Amino acid sequence: MLLHKLNLNKEHTGIVIVDVQAKLISVMSRSEFVISNIIKLLHLARLFNLPVILTEQFPKMLGTTIPEVKKVLSLYDPLQKMAFDCCDVEPFNDRLQSAGLENIILAGVETHICILQTCSSLLERGYNVHVPQDAVDSRTEENWHVGIELMKKAGAVITSAETVIFQMLRTAGTEEFKEMLKIIK
């Protein structure tokens, strides 16, 4: 892997949160842990004014984004989809392109389905994709492992929410550092 793919910066980085909906989250294997890390990433997005793209898979059936995530969002404006791959949804591509991103932090559910398919398409399009393994989930641990391994082999940066946070902060002692420290402790 090329080292430049590991670098994150606030100028060209955004966050994609995939399908963190009530009926999906309730059957995930590590839901509380994953939700906590997604919320930390959303605090980071707010702090650095990073673009956030939120999707919801068939909300009539699976419900909307869970309240814990909604309340941390600067703007609740989900893209509804039926496709597993977010890149198969034209409004998603429009938002992605207008944000001018190079790096995408990809979080949500399910690791081996929507996250994997979206990650693969984003990599094909030349984006650097960072997948915090503690901010994605599947119904079974086996499927989570499969998704993580396939994304790693495809060229995604498999990371953690805290690693992403400190990569973006870069320096201790700043106001941003002090603010995020309150959230990650």
pLDDT digits (tens, 9 = 90+) for 146-181: 999 999 999 999 999 999 999 999 999 999 999 999
pLDDT of 3? 60
Decide which of 3.40.50.850, 3.30.390.30, 1.10.10.10, 3.50.50.60 is the CATH code for 10-184: 3.40.50.850
Sequence-ordered alpha helix ranges (H) in 63-115: 67-70, 90-99
- Which pLDDT belongs to residue 135? 98
> Rounded to an integer, what distance in angstroms lies between the CA atom of residue 71 and that of residue 88?
28
Q: For all residues of the chain together, what is the average pLDDT?
A: 95
Q: Identify the band that residue 22 occupies on the pLDDT scale cut at 50, 70 and 90.
A: very high
User: If pLDDT is split at 50, 70 and 90, which confidence band does 1 have?
Assistant: low
Domain segments of the chain as ranges = 10-184
pLDDT of res. 7 = 85
> Given pLDDT bands bounded at 50, 70 and 90, which one contains residue 4?
low
Burial of 46 (0-12, 13-18, 19+ CB in 10 A): middle
CA distance linking residue 77 with residue 173, whole number of Å: 33
Q: Is the pLDDT confidence value at 75 over 80?
A: yes
Distance from C-alpha of 52 to C-alpha of 13, rounded to nearest angstrom? 10
Q: What is the pTM of this model?
A: 0.96
What mean pLDDT do residues 3-30 have? 91
Q: Is the pLDDT of residue 90 over 60?
A: yes
Write the pLDDT tens digit of every residue in 31-59. 999 999 999 999 999 999 999 999 999 99
